[in-house]
């Protein structure tokens, strides 16, 4: 049986690891390579690195972080932030990333998904979808690390991305992100029940029960989280024991 | 020295990093001389079957590998796509001829039932069909990391040494003489994966 995955997400800004609430109020939470080492020791299933302020300079720093992490962390590494061409994808795969997360370019240039999937295989193309829910209950996609609203429904966007060859979808509710009050269950349940590729649910974990809820009640293949690992004494290792004891199929 | 074959398909550096971590010298190469001098050969790979075979031929690697592995009998490890290429035929995006070292073909996973998303991505247990030295020292939970939509079907069941299950049983590892190959990624499977790589390095055919 395929196991559900626990994926710490490391947000990067100017070479440091940061964490915010609803994609703002970022604070420094340490050195990303050190954190990756710790997560490796705690048997995380994968790691996701996201550069939230991608620039030409930050790209070099992120590459360096991935290179260092890849020397010691023998698990899948996903990297995202400012990826807009097949050359970008190749650069990251060449230095040790296994997958890339495409966010803004999936809206501005969806063909990149098809090109990337054809060139490198769909297994390494993760499309990261950030969205907010409006007061009338409709949802809108956001890009540029949550700074730009797009007149696009996330479910419509996800369908287009999977049709183009996205190998996985990482879904983040900006409203829930960093609030540690649980995941956006309804939408995760809906999307994970409809798509044919794995869904990584992200944004909102504050308690171990939140992981359990997503993994037991929806068809999400994985949970991503960061605040719970930065700001509480929970770790991937404690998470997997809790989940395993509660009947969720995880690595122990 | 281990030669990690560079044919433009996938995560050769991850394999290099894992070998370095267990203190084994390796070289990423497509050079005939370097491959010839290596004691062992690893064929990694992520991507599509047809494109991979085309690259192997274009770089002259099909003949070089045949000489080193089949004629000279060097210990060989194929990983993921590098395992699938050993079959006679691949069926991913067309029908393609493989290296043909292991009788059989490569077909898309067809899990029975609902909820089995493809690609099959993540950690899954293996079941040993035969207890071979290459799997000694694994943890009780024999979980490894996979990323694939296709799997090999060996024609000779004697070649099969481990299976996985994802709504359907599939080939997780094959072993034939000096040829060992895994569908999972030992270089991405933390402790269990490093153990398999260490076993390969120590393997006396």
* Residue given tokens 């991305």 in the structure block: A161
Answer whether B43's CB lies under 8 Å from B85's CB. Answer: yes
Answer whether B125's CB lies under 8 Å from B164's CB. Answer: yes
Using CA atoms, how far apart are residues B197 and B186, in angstroms rounded to an integer? 7
Answer whether B74's CB lies under 8 Å from B68's CB. Answer: yes
Whether residue B93 is predicted with pLDDT greater than 90 in this model: the reply is no
CA angle A8, A107, A115 (to 5 degrees): 85
Q: Where are the beta strands (DSSP E) in B35-178?
A: 40-43, 76-79, 89-90, 96-97, 104-108, 120-125, 127-128, 143-148, 150-154, 160-165, 169-176
**ipTM confidence score:** 0.89
Q: Which residue of chain A is at minimal alpha-carbon distance from B19?
A: A71
A165 at interface of B, judged by CB pairs closer than 8 A: no
pLDDT confidence of residue A118: 85
pLDDT band at A119 (very low <50, low <70, confident <90, very high): confident
CA angle B99, B169, B14 (to 5 degrees): 55
Report pLDDT digits (tens) over A3-57.
999 999 999 999 899 999 999 999 999 999 999 999 999 999 999 999 999 998 9
Region for residue A64 given its phi and psi (left: phi exceeds 0; alpha: psi -120 to 50; beta: otherwise): alpha
Residues 115-154 of B with CB under 8 A from A: 115, 117-125, 141, 143, 145, 147-149
Residue B185 among the catalytic residues? yes
Whether residue B46 is predicted with pLDDT greater than 90 in this model: the reply is no
Output the six-digit token pair for A85. 């061409």
Which CATH superfamily does the domain covering A5-245 fall into? Aldolase class I (3.20.20.70)
pLDDT band at B91 (very low <50, low <70, confident <90, very high): very high
Interface residue of A33, A68, A77, A121 to substitute, partner B, most B CBs within 10 Å: A121
Using CA atoms, how far apart are residues B136 and B201, in angstroms rounded to an integer? 13
Residue B68 among the catalytic residues? no
Q: Single out the catalytic residue among B62, B68, B92, B185.
A: B185
Report pLDDT digits (tens) over A108-118.
999 999 999 98
Contact: A74, B18; criterion CB under 8 Å: yes
Best CA proximity match to B86, nearest among B170, B164, B175: B175
Output the six-digit token pair for A170. 């990482």
- Calculate mean pLDDT across residues B63-71: 98
Output the six-digit token pair for A89. 């994808």
Best CA proximity match to A178, nearest among A128, A241, A224, A125: A224
Domain B2-202, CATH number (from 3.30.1220.10, 3.60.20.10, 3.90.1170.50, 3.40.50.880) = 3.40.50.880
Report pLDDT digits (tens) over A45-74.
999 999 999 998 999 999 999 999 999 999
Answer whether B52's CB lies under 8 Å from B83's CB. Answer: no
Chain B nearest-CA distance from A147, in A, is 31
A90 at interface of B, judged by CB pairs closer than 8 A: no
pLDDT confidence of residue B9: 78
B89, with CB counted inside 10 A (0-12, 13-18, 19+), is middle
Residue B80 among the catalytic residues? yes
Please provide the average confidence, as pLDDT, over all residues in chain B. Answer: 95
Whether residue B43 is predicted with pLDDT greater than 80 in this model: the reply is yes
SS3 label, residue A62: helix
Report pLDDT digits (tens) over B98-150.
999 999 999 999 999 887 888 899 999 999 999 999 999 999 999 999 999 99
Identify all chain A residues contacting B121, using CB atoms and an 8 Å cutoff. 123, 167-168, 198, 221
Using CA atoms, how far apart are residues A19 and A28, in angstroms rounded to an integer? 7
The rounded Cα B17 to chain-centroid distance in angstroms is 17
The radius of gyration of chain A's CA atoms, rounded to the nearest angstrom, is 16
Domain ranges of chain B: 2-202
Domain ranges of chain A: 5-245
Which strands make up the sheet holding B104-108, listed edge to edge?
B96-97, B89-90, B104-108, B150-154
Interface residue of A39, A40, A66, A74 to substitute, partner B, most B CBs within 10 Å: A74
A47 at interface of B, judged by CB pairs closer than 8 A: no
Whether residue A94 is predicted with pLDDT greater than 90 in this model: the reply is no
For the four alpha carbons of B40, B188, A123 and A107, in that order, the dihedral sign comes to: negative
pLDDT confidence of residue B48: 80
Length reported for chain B: 205
pLDDT confidence of residue B11: 77
* Residue given tokens 């907010």 in the structure block: A132
Whether omega for the bond prior to residue A236 falls within 30 degrees of 0, making it cis, is no
Q: Which spans in B22-120 are helix H?
A: 32-37, 49-58, 61-65, 81-84
Q: pLDDT above 70 covers what percent of chain B? A: 100
Beta-ladder partners of A10: A49
> DSSP assignment of A141-153, as one string?
EEETTTTEE-S--
- Calculate mean pLDDT across residues B58-75: 98
**Judging by DSSP bridges, how do beta strands B40-43 and B2-5 pair with one another?**
parallel
Q: A69 to each of A10, A95, B42, how far by Cα in Å?
A: 12, 10, 22
Identify all chain B residues contacting A196, using CB atoms and an 8 Å cutoff. 117-118
Q: pLDDT above 70 covers what percent of chain A? A: 100
Q: Single out the catalytic residue among B62, B80, B92, B198.
A: B80
Chain B nearest-CA distance from A26, in A, is 31
Q: Where are the beta strands (DSSP E) in chain A?
A: 5-13, 16-21, 24-30, 47-51, 77-80, 99-102, 125-133, 139-143, 148-149, 168-173, 199-202, 222-225
A3 at interface of B, judged by CB pairs closer than 8 A: yes
């Amino acid at each position: 049986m395929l196991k559900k995955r626990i994926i710490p997400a490391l947000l990067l800004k100017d070479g440091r690891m940061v964490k915010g609430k609803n994609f703002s109020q970022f604070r420094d939470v340490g050195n990303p390579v050190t954190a990756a080492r710790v997560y490796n020791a705690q048997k995380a299933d994968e790691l996701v690195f996201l550069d939230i302020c991608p620039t030409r300079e930050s790209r070099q720093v992120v590459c360096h972080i991935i290179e260092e992490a890849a020397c010691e962390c023998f698990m899948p590494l996903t990297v995202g932030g400012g990826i807009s061409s097949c050359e970008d994808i190749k650069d990251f795969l060449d230095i040790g990333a296994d997958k890339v997360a495409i966010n803004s370019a999936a809206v501005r240039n969806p063909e990149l998904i098809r090109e990337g999937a054809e060139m490198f295989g769909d297994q390494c193309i993760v499309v990261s979808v950030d969205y907010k829910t409006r007061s009338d209950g409709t949802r809108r996609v956001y890009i540029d690390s949550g700074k730009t609203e797009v007149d696009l429904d996330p479910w419509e966007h996800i369908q287009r991305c999977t049709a183009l060859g996205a190998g996985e979808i990482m879904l983040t509710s900006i409203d829930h992100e960093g609030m540690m009050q649980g995941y956006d269950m309804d939408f995760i349940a809906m999307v994970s029940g409809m798509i044919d590729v794995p869904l990584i649910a992200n944004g909102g974990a504050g308690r171990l029960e939140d992981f359990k809820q997503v993994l037991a009640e929806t068809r999400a293949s994985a949970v991503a989280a960061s605040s719970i690992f930065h700001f509480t004494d929970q770790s991937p290792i404690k998470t997997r024991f809790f989940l395993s004891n509660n009947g969720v199929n995880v690595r122990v | 020295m281990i030669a990690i074959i560079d044919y433009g398909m996938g995560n050769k550096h991850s394999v290099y990093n894992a070998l370095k971590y267990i203190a084994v010298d390796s070289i990423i190469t497509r050079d005939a001389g370097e491959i010839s001098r290596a004691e062992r050969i690893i064929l990694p790979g992520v991507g599509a079957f047809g494109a991979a075979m085309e690259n192997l031929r274009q770089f002259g690697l099909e003949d070089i590998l045949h000489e080193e592995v089949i004629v000279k009998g060097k210990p060989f490890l194929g990983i993921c796509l590098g395992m699938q290429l050993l079959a006679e035929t691949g069926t991913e995006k067309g029908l393609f001829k493989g290296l043909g070292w292991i009788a059989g073909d490569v077909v898309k996973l067809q899990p029975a039932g609902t909820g089995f998303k493809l690609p099959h991505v993540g950690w899954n247990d293996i079941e040993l069909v035969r207890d071979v030295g290459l799997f000694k020292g694994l943890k009780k939970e024999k979980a490894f990391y996979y990323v694939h939509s296709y799997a090999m079907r060996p024609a000779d069941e004697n070649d099969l040494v481990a299976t996985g299950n994802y709504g359907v049983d599939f080939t997780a590892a094959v072993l034939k003489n000096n040829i060992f190959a895994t569908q999972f990624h030992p270089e991405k499977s933390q402790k269990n994966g490093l153990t398999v790589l260490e076993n390969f390095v120590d393997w006396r055919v």
